[in-house]
Structure 1
Amino acid sequence: MFPIIWLLSGSLQTAEELYSGETFFPEAPQWTNYVTGWVDGNLAVYLGNSLFYTLTSVALILAVASLAGYALARIEFSGKAFFTLLILAVMVIPAPAMFITQYKLLLSFGLTDSRLGYIFILVTAGIPMSTLIMRSFFVSLSPELEEAAAIDGASALRTFVSVILPLARPGLAAVAVIQGLQVWNEYLMALVLFDSDSLMPVQRGLMSFVSVETPQQQVLLAATAISIVPVVIFYLLAQKHIIQGLGAGGLK
């Protein structure tokens, strides 16, 4: 908790207090730092962008990864081992190494400087790891549940939606947190892809206060505190499922 306490304390200090290091807590809390961070950092726009990118990307990742993970866990098909190995191989490649290829691909489809193109990149980056996590979770579930549903006349899709997915909520929550944090913190591809400043994620607003000539560390800390609020709220709401999902993954 100390880094969080330091963040909140520094965000309420003056520049002189913060740079002198003579006191840990502010003598007179500077709430105007938060107003400056919100207004000058244009956080209303950038936070809205990040929320849209994160919610949309995570929803698509969960949909694709759950279906793909279930297929790898339950369906026998030719090339299954190769397909799994291919997913692992993709995860080894650093994301910046694919920027040029991804940019050229989006350029050919006319999706540069667009929300849709950026979401495509975020989704494709998150699917491999998420698929393997969901596969491990589905493998741990008893196949007898699916057999019972099949005897009752449920189709494969109905079984997946009504029986398997409710049991997989801890795994889905764990994937949502992992990918949500990655999408929320992504900034490099946004710099490569976007020409329009209005499409940038929240990190663009934070960079407004990083300057060698006129550093505003106290305002940067205040803006950072604002930017992490949605992530903290989501984690608190999904905490129970997250712990169950990570615990199940570790045991299996």
Structure 2
Amino acid sequence: MTLIDKTMNELNASSSNSGTPKAKRRRRIRPDQVGLYGLLIVAALSALFPLLWMLSGSLQSLTELLSNESFLPASPQWSNYLTAWTEGQLGTYLRNSIIYSGSAVIGILLVSSLAGYALARLEFAGKGVFTFIILAVMIIPAPAMFLAQYKLLISLGLTNNPVGYILILITSGIPMSTLIMRSFFISQPRDLEEAAALDGAGPVRVFWSVILPLARPGLAAVAVIQGLGAWNEYLMALVLFDDNDLMPIQRGLTAFTSADTPQQQILLAATTISIVPVVIFYLLAQRHIVKGIGAGAIK
């Protein structure tokens, strides 16, 4: 067994031992905590209410929704979801958004993890200037760069092309993600890296076998943040795409926003469908999110 394998096994054993369940005593809520828990409950209900209202409205008829007589639907209209799926072409748009967001997240994770590790561990000329440039790019609003990005895609022949749109999503998410990963790598001890180097592992092996497994919380946090940003992006798609079949999921939602034929209940049903993949992804990565964001924000 190599030194790196022994070190990793000892780390896993210590973490598993620390997580061994012990006899838990029932904790009493102190009087000074009642107000805090009350505020947290109110905040949680405030965050959940719009979601519950959207689910309820998506199952109501238009007359019932506009009358606002009851929060719960008297007779659930499940056909609203079928109408939203067919008339809004949500199948095509949902597939496009999954491809765009998934590709963008993979590209952002690959580039930002390598760049963040280089800024955290390597010493090279212009390191401070490079970090300053990343911060400066983050200050520029995304719409302000649309013209330059569009002209660049024209010169590359990537207008009305999914590849060009995915590249825009990747480049837009790299600056923030790089700084998050840099902060996360700085917070990690160098002991395992030194042990791997003594064992004969090269920089690539150290990064792939030691650093990335420890960086899973940071990677999950970056994936959620940038995944949400890519999923909700619509302005650049509106500028870039001429073909309606290449549009993301937000294009399907606009089919039910006409003032002449209001279909608010169908719009709510389509919105509910559009957030399902995001909710599933968030639930799968939630145990890493808080730890990753905290490490990136504090260190």
Q: TM-score range by the shorter chain?
A: over 0.9
CA drift of 1:147 comes to 0.8
Equivalent residues of 2:249, 2:274 under 8 A apart: yes
Matches of 2:58 and 2:290 in 1, distance apart? 31
Q: Does 1:15 align with 2:90?
A: no
In structure 2, stretches of 5+ residues that fail to align are 1-47
Alignment deviations for residues 211-235 of structure 1 (CA, whole Å, 9 cap, x no partner): 1111111000000000000000011
Q: Does 1:129 align with 2:129?
A: no
CA drift of 1:102 comes to 0.5
Q: Which of the numbers 122, 131, 134 marks the counterpart of 1:87?
A: 134
In structure 1, stretches of 5+ residues that fail to align are none
Matches of 1:122 and 1:180 in 2, distance apart? 10
Structure exhibiting the larger radius of gyration computed from Cα positions: 2
Which deviates the most, 151-160 or 139-148?
139-148
Alignment deviations for residues 21-61 of structure 1 (CA, whole Å, 9 cap, x no partner): 11111110000100000000100000000000011110000
For the structure 1 residues 251 and 92, does the alpha-carbon distance in structure 2 shift closer, same or farther, using more than 3 Å as the test?
Answer: closer
1:117 aligned partner, one-letter code: G
Matches of 2:53 and 2:295 in 1, distance apart? 33
In structure 1, the residue matched to 2:7 is none
1:73 aligned partner, one-letter code: A
CA drift of 1:125 comes to 0.1
Q: Looking at both structures, which has the greater relative contact order when contacts are Cα pairs under 8 Å and sequence separation is at least 6?
A: 1
Aligned length: 252
Aligned residue for 2:256, secondary structure, equals: coil
2:115 aligned partner, one-letter code: A
In structure 1, the residue matched to 2:32 is none
Matches of 2:116 and 2:71 in 1, distance apart? 48
In structure 1, the residue matched to 2:99 is 52
Alignment deviations for residues 59-116 of structure 1 (CA, whole Å, 9 cap, x no partner): 0000000000000000011110000000000000000001011000000110000000
1:93 aligned partner, one-letter code: I
In structure 1, the residue matched to 2:75 is 28
1:121 aligned partner, one-letter code: I
1:221-232 to 2 correspondence within 5 Å? 221-232=268-279
- TM-score with structure 2 length normalisation? 0.83
Which deviates the most, 18-27 or 105-114?
18-27
CA drift of 1:251 comes to 3.7
Q: Does 1:210 align with 2:257?
A: yes
In structure 2, the residue matched to 1:96 is 143
CA drift of 1:243 comes to 2.0
Q: Does 1:245 align with 2:258?
A: no
Q: Does 1:176 align with 2:176?
A: no
In structure 1, the residue matched to 2:236 is 189
Alignment deviations for residues 107-149 of structure 1 (CA, whole Å, 9 cap, x no partner): 0110000000000100000000000000000000011211110
CA drift of 1:246 comes to 1.8
Aligned residue for 1:228, secondary structure, equals: helix
| RMSD of aligned residue pairs (Cα, Å) | 0.7
Identity %: 68
In structure 1, the residue matched to 2:38 is none
Matches of 1:78 and 1:248 in 2, distance apart? 27
Structure 1 consecutive aligned stretches of length 4 or more whose deviation exceeds 3 Å: none
Aligned residue for 2:181, secondary structure, equals: helix
Aligned residue for 2:76, secondary structure, equals: coil
Matches of 1:242 and 1:93 in 2, distance apart? 26
- TM-score with structure 1 length normalisation? 0.99
Alignment deviations for residues 190-225 of structure 1 (CA, whole Å, 9 cap, x no partner): 000000001000000000000111111100000000
Aligned residue for 1:153, secondary structure, equals: coil
Q: Does 1:5 align with 2:22?
A: no
